[in-house]
Amino acid sequence: MDFGNLVRRLRKERSLTLKQVEELTGISFSQLGKIERGVHKPSQDTMDKLNQFFKIYEFIGDEIKGNYLKYESPINAITRVEVFVRDAFLCQMCGGKKPEKSLNVYHITPIELGGSSAEENLITLCNDCFSGRQEFIKKYGIDQDPLKQI
């Protein structure tokens, strides 16, 4: 499920049409339609409006809310959501999930080593596995990256 489908699902759960959401949020129905079809990535302002109405930050988690609002990251905010959804909100090393584990999206190949911020180079990990991985790589080198042994 991608971000657009998430928005569509939240809208359908409330049995609302795009036009009704437009009236309630001020986001035009054509823009909403594009967001739902995944052809338009919402701006910060639109994300905030979606949040006010759908409580979308609550739904997708504190990490994303925090990252979207504060974290100046090379990872696009929507890509981050898509990685969380793709990885089913589970740490891809230990299978940990919220609220026991604090999850975030990390680069598989770090940017410093030429890794991109595209979805295929991103992964959901808990903080414990991330720190563990960092230490392991520091000690044994990136060739021994535990992620590549999975």
Contact footprint for Zn ion (CB under 5 A): 91, 93-94, 96, 126, 129
3-state secondary structure of 126: strand
Q: How far is the CB of 63 from Zn ion (least distance, A)?
A: 14
Q: How far is the CB of 16 from Zn ion (least distance, A)?
A: 37
Q: How far is the CB of 127 from Zn ion (least distance, A)?
A: 8
C-beta closer to Zn ion: residue 10 or 90: 90
Residues 6+ apart with CB under 8 A from 57: 51, 64, 65, 68
C-beta closer to Zn ion: residue 21 or 126: 126
C-beta closer to Zn ion: residue 28 or 127: 127
Other beta carbons within 10 Å of 15: 7
Q: How far is the CB of 111 from Zn ion (least distance, A)?
A: 21
Residues 6+ apart with CB under 8 A from 96: 90, 103, 126, 128, 129
The closest of 38, 35, 83 to 61, measured between CA atoms, is: 83
* Positive or negative torsion for Cα 87, 93, 99, 102: negative
C-beta closer to Zn ion: residue 47 or 129: 129
